[in-house]
Structure 1
Amino acid sequence: MDQESLNERETRAWVSFQHMRIEVNVVLARMLVRDFGLTEADFVILLRLSNSPGHRLRARDMAAALQWERSRLSRQISRMETRGTVMRAPSEGDARGYDVVLTEAGRAAFQAAWPSYVAGIRHCFADVLSTAQLDALTDIAETIDSHFSAQHYPGGLQDPAKAPGTRTTAAGIESAIAADSLESAR
Structure 2
Amino acid sequence: MDEAGFVKKTKNLEDSRCFDVSITAKGRKIAEAAIPLQSKEINHCFSEVLTQAQMKSLIEISEAISNHMKANHPINKKVDK
TM-score of the alignment, normalized to the shorter chain, above 0.5: yes
Q: CA RMSD in A?
A: 2.4
- Residue of structure 1 equivalent to 2:12: 91
- Within-5 A mapping of 1:38-53: none
TM-score normalized by the length of structure 2: 0.59
How far does residue 90 in structure 1 lie from its aligned partner after superposition?
2.1
Which of structure 1's runs of 4+ aligned residues deviate more than 6 A?
Answer: none
Write the distance in 2 (CA, Å) between the matches of 1:82 and 1:92: 21
Q: Secondary structure at the match of 1:121?
A: helix
- Residue of structure 2 equivalent to 1:100: 21
Tell me which of the two structures has the higher relative contact order, counting C-alpha pairs closer than 8 angstroms and 6 or more residues apart. 1
- Residue of structure 2 equivalent to 1:113: 34
How far does residue 93 in structure 1 lie from its aligned partner after superposition?
1.6
Write the distance in 2 (CA, Å) between the matches of 1:82 and 1:99: 15
- Identity of aligned pairs, percent? 33
Aligned residues: 60
CA displacement 1:49-92 (0-9 Å, x = unmatched): xxxxxxxxxxxxxxxxxxxxxxxxxxxxxxx1121111211224
Amino acid at match of 2:45: C
- Residue of structure 1 equivalent to 2:43: 122
Amino acid at match of 2:32: Q
Which consecutive unaligned segments of at least 5 residues does structure 1 have? 1-79, 140-163, 166-186
Amino acid at match of 1:116: L
